[in-house]
Amino acid sequence: MGLLKNWKTALEVGNFPPGTKIDWLSKWMVLTRAQVFSMTVISSLVGALIALADGKHNIIDTFIVVVTLCLAHASNNLINDYFDYKSGLDTADYPRTQYSPHPIVSGMISEKKLLFVFFLFGAIELSVAVYLFLKTGWPVMAFAVAGFLLSVFYVAPPVKLKYRGLGELAIFLIWGPLITVGTYYVITGEMPLKVWLASIPYGLVVTNVLLGKHLDKFDKDREKGVKTFPVTLGWKNALNFTRINTAMFFISVVLLVAFRVITPFALLCFFAIGRFSTFMNVLSSEKPDEKPKDFPELWPLWYVVWAFWFNRLAGGMFILGLILGTLPFLKF
C-alpha cells in the first residue's frame, strides 16, 4: 500500500512531503513529471477514437504509439529541465525548483545521468518510429521528426521557442495536430482534413496549461529576460488571451459537432462548464500571498493548477463523448 500511495501522489502532484521514502519508480515519475502524461494519452486517444468511429482500429499499434509518446513526453521534460538549468534559468529561487524536485538542482540525478536517460529513451523512440515507418509510410517519420524538433528546441539553443514567445504555439502543434493526426495515420494510413480539425479542441486546453504555468512564472521570467508568450503580451493581455483560449475549447467543439466532424456526444465536455467558470474567476482575482489550506503540494504554482483542474474534466468528458460516438447503437 505504501508503493501505491507513492505512485498515486507522484501522478497527482509530482512531489512528496519531506521525509517520504521514495521508491525507484516514484522517483522517476517525479523527475519526468508523469503527472502530466495524461495529456499525451488523451491527445493520442482522440486520433485513435476517430479512427475507431471510421471503422478502423489496431489495438497493438495504438498501445505502442501511446506508450512511446509518453516516453517522448518524459524525454521532453528531462531535456527541457537540462537546458533551462544550463542556461541559468532553473535556480533555487525559480518556481520550477520549488513546486517539484528539479532533476539536477535537487541532486536526485547528475547531468550525465539525465543525458544518458534522454538518449536511451530517444533510442527506443527512434526504433519505434522506424518500425512504424516501415509498416505504414514516410509520414510517420515526418510526424516524429517534427515533434522531436519542436520539443527539443522549445528550450534548446539556438532556437529557444519558449524564450521567443513561441512556446505556446509549439505546444499546441504537438498536443494538437502532431499527436492526434499522427496516431490516426498510424492506424489508418490516412490523414483526412476532419482529423486535423478534430485535433484543435484538446490542443487548446493543453495550451491552456502552459499559459497558466507561464502566468505563474510571469514576474521571474520577465526579470530573467525570458520572453514567454504572456511576458510578450503583458499581464492583462495574457490573462485575456487565456480566457479567450479557454472559451475557444467549447466554441471549437460546438463548431465541429455542427459541421459533423465529430460526434454530438463530444458536447459532454460542457459538464466542465462549472470548472470553466471557476477558472475564469481565478483569472480575475489576485493570486494569494501564501499557500491556501488544502491546496495541492504544487505551490507556488497557482494558475496552472486551476488550468490543469479544468483540463482534466474537460478533456475527460470530451474523450468520453468520442468513446460513446464509436458505439454503433448510439450513432446518429
Please report, for the domain that includes residue 304, its CATH number: 1.10.600
* Domain membership flag for residue 12: no
pLDDT for the residue 6: 80
Read off φ and ψ for residue 227, nearest 5 degrees.
Answer: -90, 70
* Domain membership flag for residue 13: no
Residue in 3, 171, 140, 169 with CA at minimum distance from that of residue 76: 171
Residue in 76, 308, 28, 59 with CA at minimum distance from that of residue 178: 76
Bridge partners (DSSP) listed for residue 228? none
- Judged by DSSP in three states, 133 sits in helix
Q: Nine-digit cell at 79?
A: 531535456
pLDDT at 112 over 70: yes
Read off φ and ψ for residue 225, nearest 5 degrees.
Answer: 75, 20
Tell me if 155 sits within 8 A of 90, measured CB to CB.
no
pLDDT digits over 144-192, tens only?
Answer: 999 999 999 999 989 999 999 999 999 999 999 999 999 999 999 999 9
pLDDT for the residue 332: 47
Q: Return d(Cα 198, Cα 255) in angstroms, integer.
A: 10
Q: What is the mean pLDDT of the chain?
A: 91
Q: Return d(Cα 153, Cα 193) in angstroms, integer.
A: 27
- Reported for 276-282, long-range contacts at CB under 8 A and 24+ positions apart, including other chains, are 276/246, 276/247, 276/250, 276/310, 276/314, 278/306, 278/310, 279/246, 279/306, 279/307, 279/309, 279/310, 280/243, 280/246, 282/306
Q: Which domain holds residue 264?
A: 23-330
pLDDT for the residue 331: 53
DSSP letter for each residue of 176-214: IIIHHHHHHHHHHS---HHHHHHTHHHHHHHHHHHHHHH
pLDDT-derived band of residue 330, with 50, 70 and 90 as boundaries?
A: low
What is the DSSP-derived secondary structure letter of residue 174? I
Least confident of 70-79, 84-93, 252-261: 84-93
pLDDT digits over 28-71, tens only?
Answer: 998 999 888 999 999 999 999 999 999 998 899 999 999 999 99
pLDDT-derived band of residue 316, with 50, 70 and 90 as boundaries?
A: very high
- Which single residue is written with the C-alpha cell 522549445? 154
Q: Nine-digit cell at 155?
A: 528550450
Number of domains in the chain: 1
Greater model confidence, 284 or 19: 284
Tell me if 62 sits within 8 A of 191, measured CB to CB.
no
Residue % of the chain over a pLDDT of 70: 98
Tell me if 38 sits within 8 A of 14, measured CB to CB.
no
**Mean pLDDT of the region 218-246:** 95
Cα torsion angle, 249, 251, 254, 255, sign = negative
